[in-house]
Structure 1
Amino acid sequence: MNKIRKGDEVIILTGRDKKRRGIVSAVVGKDHLLVDGINVVKKHMKANPMNNNPGGITSKSMPIHISNVALFNKVTGKGERVLIKELDGVRTRIFRSDGSSVDNKS
């Protein structure tokens, strides 16, 4: 079970996007994430008429390492660490600071 999943709200801990928040759009491999609006780079694309691609300069979101993000806790307003506990035979993610469940957020 991964501590950070697709659809989670995270806060960036390091880099040029530090202290910005975003939603995880995809998990890339075992230790990288794609976060909407975070780590956006300019990519020079060559035109390809076979794929109907006009080319030019486009913006692209690049993966960020999982160690550079923390799960955002709406109650405390901070990024926090997560632990995984088994409650009633079901593995759930729990914030370390206050013990509230991550999965039962609404």
Structure 2
Amino acid sequence: MQRIKQGDEVIVTTGKDKGRRGKVMSILKNDRVMVENINVVKKHTKPNPMAGVEGGIIEKEMSIHISNIMPFNPASNKGDRIGIKTLEDGKKIRVFKSNNENVDV
């Protein structure tokens, strides 16, 4: 079971966007994730009239390593670690380590 899933609200722990929050848009291979409005870079593009692409400087979100983010705990307003708990019926759920609350509400 993954500790961070698509749609989770996370907080950045290191880097230029430290302390900012965002929602996980997708999880990529090699332990990288796309978080909305985090790690925004400027990319210079050439125009391509055949493909209908305008040239210029565009802002684009880039991926960030999964070790640089933490799931956001709304009860404590901080990033928190996640543990896996097995219920009596055998179903696994994700819980915050600090207060044992269910992550998937």
Q: What's the TM-score bracket when you normalise by the shorter of the two chains?
A: over 0.9
AA at the equivalent of 2:22: G
For structure 1, the 5+ residue unaligned runs are: none
RMSD value, Cα: 0.9
Q: After TM superposition, what 4+ stretches of structure 1 lie above 4 angstroms from structure 2?
A: none
Partner in structure 2 of residue 103 of structure 1: 104
Shift of 1:63: 0.3
Letter in 2 for 1:13: T
Sort the Cα spacing of 1:61 and 1:71 in 2 relative to 1 into closer, same or farther, 3 A: same
1:47 match: secondary structure: coil
The one-letter code of the counterpart of 1:6 is: Q
1:47 is displaced (CA, Å) by 1.0
- What is the alpha-carbon distance in structure 2 between the residues aligned to residue 30 and residue 3 of structure 1? 15
SS of 2:25's equivalent in the other structure is: strand
Amino acid at match of 1:21: R
Q: TM-score by structure 1 length?
A: 0.94
Q: Which residue of 2 aligns with 1:36?
A: 36
User: What is the TM-score when the length of structure 2 is the normalising length?
Assistant: 0.95
Unmatched 5+ residue regions in structure 2?
A: none
* CA offset digits 1:16-67 (Å, max 9, x no partner): 1000100111111141111110000000111111211012110000000000
Letter in 1 for 2:49: P
Identical-residue share of aligned pairs (%): 51
Give the distance between the partners of 1:30 and 1:101, measured in 2 at CA.
27
- When the two structures are aligned, how many residues end up with a matched partner? 104
Equivalent-residue separation in structure 1 for 2:31 and 2:67 (angstroms): 8
Secondary structure at the aligned position of 2:58 is classed as strand
Describe the SS at the equivalent of 2:50. Answer: helix
